[in-house]
Amino acid sequence: MRNILVPVPGSAAPSSTIVVFPHAGGSPRQYAPWGRIAGSQARVLGVTYPGRDHRLGDAHPATMRDLAEEIAAALDAASPLILAGHSLGAILAYETLLAWQRAGGGEGTTLVVSGQTSPDHVGGGTLHLRADGALVEALSRSSPDTARALAESELAALYLPAIREDYRLIETYSPPPPGSATTQSSIVVVKGYADEELITASVAGWQRLSPDVLGPVLVPGDHMHHIDRPELAQMCCGGVLRHAARTLQRKR
């Protein structure tokens, strides 16, 4: 496993760390605006999934939980205050927090889940089994820039296998049993106003997973608001970071 966590340029302040978990097909490179927004308030680290960037040749995990275990093992040195995931990344951040807590870490960490239903509504679907064209068409609805890039055959051959694996992870995901699904960590649930992929009622299940759940917090933008707009980054680097710091201080 090579450098699964990479720094997002522009951010600093290692005493306060935010770890971002990209959407399916995403990369920490897309979070450059987060680094600029964080500035000296926090260090932003991005999770690099297998099959892209410097992990281009790395093997893909069998399950979402396997990938979460890998990431949790890398978190000890980072000691993040916030795990922030969007879409697929929201479920991966949640599973990473559970894995980290099973290993004895993560106390006081705040989880931010954006653009995703609660875990009990995730899973199913066969997009990862369909032809390349169907995969690109689905991407064009949620991430037009990615879909346009994949119109070039060389890029498609390079990146479509990794994107297919991302979809496989989310479509074959099964939530943990009720007895091991909860956390004492704070959870902040975020949804874009114009996110047509997500109805507000479908995020209600997050309320059952922690005694301290805020949201859904509605922010401007569609399903890709975390990349296209600054509000989620501003929230994580502002009020959520301050809340996380206070929570951690109380637990010490």
Residues 172, 48: Cα–Cα separation, whole Å: 20
Angle of CA points 147, 126, 95, to nearest 5°: 85
Residues 69, 75: Cα–Cα separation, whole Å: 10
Residues 14, 216: Cα–Cα separation, whole Å: 29
Residues 5, 114: Cα–Cα separation, whole Å: 20
Residues 112, 62: Cα–Cα separation, whole Å: 25
List the domain boundaries for the chain: 5-119+176-251
The residues carrying an active-site annotation are 87
pTM score of the predicted model: 0.93
Q: How confident is the model at residue 20 (pLDDT cuts 50, 70, 90)?
A: very high
Low-confidence winner among 29-33, 97-101, 105-109, 212-216 (lowest mean pLDDT) = 105-109
Is the link from the previous residue into 7 a cis peptide, with omega within 30 of 0? Answer: no
Residues 50, 36: Cα–Cα separation, whole Å: 25
Task: Identify the residue with better confidence: 82 or 143.
Answer: 82
CATH 3.40.50.1820 fits 5-119+176-251, yes or no: yes
What is the mean predicted confidence (pLDDT) over 90-113? Answer: 94
pLDDT at residue 136 greater than cutoff 80: no
Assigned token pair, 227: 């990349």
Residues 191, 200: Cα–Cα separation, whole Å: 8
Residue with tokens 């199913």: 124
